[in-house]
Amino acid sequence: MMHQLATRTLGVVPVMFFVALFVFCILHFAPGDPAVILAGDMASPEQVERIREALGLNKTLLSQFIDWLARVLTGDFGTSIFSKVPVTELIAQRLPATLSLMLLTLVFSVTVAIPIGVLAATNHNSLADRIVTAFTTLSFSIPVFVLGYGLVYIFSTSLGLLPVQGYAPLSAGIGKHLSHLLLPALSLSSVYIAMVARISRTTMLEALSQDYIRTARAKGVGRRSILYVHALKNTSLPVVTVIGLGIGMLISGAVVTESVFAIPGVGRLTIDAVARRDVPVIQGIVLMFSAMYIALNFLIDVLYVILDPRVRY
Amino acid sequence: MLRISEASDSPPSTLGRSRLTRILTHYPGLIVGGFLFGLLVFAAIFAPWLGTVDPAALAPSLRLAPPSDTAWLGTDMLGRDVYSRAIYGARISLSVGVSVALLTAIFGTAIGILSGYVRWLDPIIMRITDGLMAIPAILLAIALMSVTRGSIVAVVVAISLSQLPQVIRLIRGVVLTIRELPFFEAAIAAGSSPLRIVYNHVLPNVLIPLSVQATYICAAAIMTEAALSFIGAGTPPMIPSWGNMIADARTLWQIKPHLIAVPAIFLTVTVLAINLVGDSVRDLLDPRFSKGRK
């Protein structure tokens, strides 16, 4: 088992390396002079020259990459062109709101999606199954920002039940915090629920047709016990995989959702950085989110090896 | 055994028709999705002849006009005709969706076959796709858009790059499977050239999974373009795309919700139509999902 864990851990390194290489290349292979891009639209020629020197742009590309990588590994992502604040500091300020939104979405999605999937599988081809299938298809087709505006229109503008937009940190009280995050999390969770419900349904259908289910039924195990002990346990691996892969979608969705609901998170930071062409900030955000995605999926893989002795790398 | 299964089937003369009927009755999504998609393609091609006016024409005196005889769905905050913009928006969305699907299908197939075929190239290509897949799709596109001048071509390239790894993996998987099969060995033993093997044996086998994947990529590309335009990192603001329309209406939507609702409905219906077709084709081809048969 240790050997497998070590192999898997080493597998993370090249992936992270290529992400870093890509992020580096964005700036250096883009049309135009990187110093001009980094200096921003308002910079004077002297400022551009200073940036060129500071970045060592007159050195070879390889040594520039090594220098940059070394700085990134020590946690130095550079400084924002616009606000002159270190990128790590900017991200750290905005991260709590984004993580709160993502965590709420994740918990809500998983608690709703798995029972829906199981319900559809146990009533295969019934009305409930059809409704679940229709719901998942529809959820895959409604863009998160469209759903967001729809929900705000119904629950905030028309019914006045929840705040329209904005954000309250956890320090303002948990009730206030959640009331601001409820609609964003709901719109963000729609696709996620569809994804997890679909895979739960498919794997559950497969599990229920296995011989050990028939054996369990034959020896008189109760229906509930068959479902939750025998079948659900065996569907957990693919379901957990999809939950992990969905994190990438969750990150993409959060960027857009924060814009709809005016939540001051990393997503808003990204959008502001794009508008100002603040390349160091964009590089930092892409690196940070990709690292988060890789780390979470790595943890899930480690979990597999521990849970299921059949899994090999 | 064989005789029994033959007897239970319909006679060959009516097999074609009954199979078509069965497909149409079992997969209503194919009809609904296909019809809606056809309608949108029609609207995109014939946009100038569908009672539209210039979608970019400003009419400051007619700002935020309610629906009327001249402006069927009213006008936006710059007096532009909402109906015309929505119809012309179909051109942008569909061309982005179809271009991304074609580009990723062509390049993904080529790279996927190389990866499955050339043993020393495989680990390199796989690590690169791993890296690309580790970057969330929208962030990848945002990063690329932030260093290019905004244009539709840049949007198409950025979205294609984020979708490419999936196609490469799919094709590589198929190639790895079929190269273990006897017919593949037979083709090599018979002295077929690699190009001939690819053309005669690999391409026909990847075509079906590829076309299903391409529909999903088309739908995802349309959604991503809208999301990118919505956050200001996509199609240039002057061009009437659905994402841009929603972004423009953002400040006014509580007073004029239809400014967001119109492009939002067009967008959702388009994506839904493509997904319905994709799902039906997948179900049709995958015996595990087939309905009404045992």
CATH code for position A249:
1.10.3720.10
Nearest CA to B157 out of B79, B193, B82, B104 is that of B104
Helices B258-285 and B28-45 cross at an angle (nearest 10°) of: 130
**Residue A59, domain member (yes or no):** no
Checking if the pLDDT of B4 tops 70, the result is no
Tell me the Ramachandran region of residue B190: left when phi exceeds 0, alpha when psi lies from -120 to 50, beta otherwise: alpha
- Mean pLDDT over B231-255 rounds to 85
Contact A145, B246 (CB under 8 A): yes
**Which residue of chain B comes nearest to A247, CA vs CA?**
B136
- The tokens for A240 are 């957990």
C-alpha span between A165 and A184 (Å, rounded): 9
Please write the tens of the pLDDT for every residue from B164-183.
999 999 999 988 888 888 88
Is there a contact between A252 and B137 if contact means CB atoms under 8 Å apart?
Answer: yes
A274 to chain B, closest Cα gap in Å: 6
Residue in B134, B275, B279 nearest the CB of A294: B134
Phi, psi of B144 (to 5 degrees): -70, -40
CB distance A19–B135 less than 8 Å? yes
Question: What pLDDT was estimated at residue B71?
Answer: 66
B219 contacts on A by Cβ (under 8 Å): 140-141
Interface residue ranges in chain B relative to chain A, Cβ cutoff 8 Å: 29, 127-128, 130-140, 142-149, 219, 223, 226-227, 230-233, 246, 253-254, 257, 260, 264, 267-268, 271-272, 275-276, 279, 291
Model confidence pLDDT, tens digit, residues B196-239: 888 888 888 888 889 889 999 999 999 999 999 998 888 888 88
* Shortest alpha-carbon distance between residue B39 and chain A (Å): 17
Residues 6+ apart with CB under 8 A from A114: A196, A197, A200, A232, A239
Positive/negative CA dihedral, A271, A272, A274, A275: positive
Give a yes or no: residue A31 inside a domain.
no
Q: Average pLDDT in the B91-104 region?
A: 95
Residues of B whose CB is below 8 A from A37:
147
- How does pLDDT run across B125-157, given as a tens digit for each residue? 988 898 888 888 888 888 888 877 778 998 999
pLDDT beyond 60 at B15: no
Instruction: Looking at chain B, list the stretches that DSSP marks H as alpha helix, in order from N- to C-terminal side.
Output: 2-8, 12-26, 28-45, 82-117, 122-133, 137-146, 152-178, 182-189, 194-197, 203-230, 242-249, 258-285
In this model, does residue B6 exceed pLDDT 70? no
Q: How far is A15 from chain B (nearest CA, A)?
A: 5
Q: Do B147 and A149 touch (CB under 8 A)?
A: no
pLDDT at position B294: 34
Q: Do B138 and A255 touch (CB under 8 A)?
A: yes
- Predicted pLDDT of residue A312: 60
Residue A14 with chain B: CB contacts under 8 Å? 127, 130-131
At the top level of CATH, the class of B44-293 is: mainly alpha
Distance from CA of B105 to the nearest CA of A (A): 21
Please give the mean pLDDT across all residues of chain B.
82
**Contacts of residue A31 in chain B, CB cutoff 8 Å?**
147-149
CB B63 within 8 A of CB B249: no
Residues of chain A with pLDDT under 70: 1, 29-34, 38, 40-41, 55-56, 311-313
Asked if pLDDT for residue B82 goes beyond 80, the answer is yes
Q: What is the pLDDT of residue B206?
A: 86
Find the CB nearest A143 among B128, B226, B253. B226
Higher pLDDT among residues B179 and B97, named by residue: B97
Handedness of CA A169, A297, B119, B203 (dihedral sign): negative
Residue A222 to chain B, least CA–CA distance (Å) = 26
Closest residue on chain A to B142 (Cα):
A274
Asked whether the predicted pLDDT for residue B287 surpasses 70, the reply is: no
Six token digits for residue A231:
């079948």
Asked if residue A79 lies in contact with residue A85, where contact means CB atoms within 8 angstroms, the answer is: yes
Task: Pick from B32, B142, B146 the residue to mutate for testing the A interface (most A CBs within 10 Å).
Answer: B146
> Quick one: pLDDT at residue B195?
85
Position B13 confidence tier, pLDDT thresholds 50, 70, 90: very low
Half-sphere exposure in the Cβ direction for A140 (13 Å, CA): 24
Nearest residue of A to residue B222 by CA position? A143
Q: In chain A, what residues touch B135 (CB-CB under 8 Å)?
A: 19, 22, 286, 289-290, 293
pLDDT-derived band at B291 (thresholds 50, 70, 90) equals very low
Q: CB–CB of A138 and B137 under 8 A?
A: no
- Beta carbons of A184 and A258 less than 8 angstroms apart: yes
Residue (of A66, A80, A74) closest to A17 by Cα position: A66
From the list A140, A153, A161, A174, the residue with the least C-alpha distance to A253 is A140
The pLDDT of residue A188 is: 93
Flag whether A245 is in a domain. yes
Q: How close does chain B come to A27, measured CA to CA in Å?
A: 7
Q: Which of A140, A248, A259 minimises the CB distance to B136?
A: A248
**Beta carbons of A18 and B127 less than 8 Å apart:** yes
Average pLDDT over residues B264-291: 82
DSSP character at residue B235: S
Please name which of A215, A213, A208 lies closest in space to residue A118, comparing C-alpha atoms.
A208
What token pair was written down for A40? Answer: 């921003």
Domain span at residue A152?
A: 87-312
Could you tell me the residue ranges of all domains in chain B? 44-293
Q: Measured between alpha carbons, how far is B282 from B13 in angstroms, rounded to an integer?
A: 27
Q: How many helices (H) and strands (E) does chain A have?
A: 13, 0
Given this model, what pLDDT does residue B16 score?
57
DSSP of A220-274: T--HHHIIIIIIHHHHHHHHHHHHHHHHHHHHHHHHHHHHHHT--SHHHHHHHHH
Total number of domains constituting chain A? 1
pLDDT score at B39 = 92
The minimal CB distance from A255 to the residues B146, B219, B231 is found for B231
Q: Which of B163, B225, B231 to mutate to test the interface with A (most CBs of A within 10 A)?
A: B231
Cβ contact (<8 Å) for B264 and A150?
Answer: yes
Mean pLDDT score, B58-73: 69
Contact call for A144 and B135, based on CB within 8 A: no
- B275: chain A residues, CB-CB within 8 Å: 137, 140-141
- Please report whether residue A239 resides in a domain: yes
Contact B148 A30 (CB under 8 A): yes
Is residue A203, in this structure, part of any structural domain at all?
yes
d(CA B215, CA B211): 6
- By Cβ distance, the residue of B148, B231, B246 closest to A271 is B231
Min distance B189 CA to chain A CA atoms (Å): 33
* Pairwise CA distance, residues A297 & A259, whole Å: 27
In chain B, the percentage of residues whose pLDDT exceeds 70 is: 86
pLDDT (0 to 100) of residue B221:
95
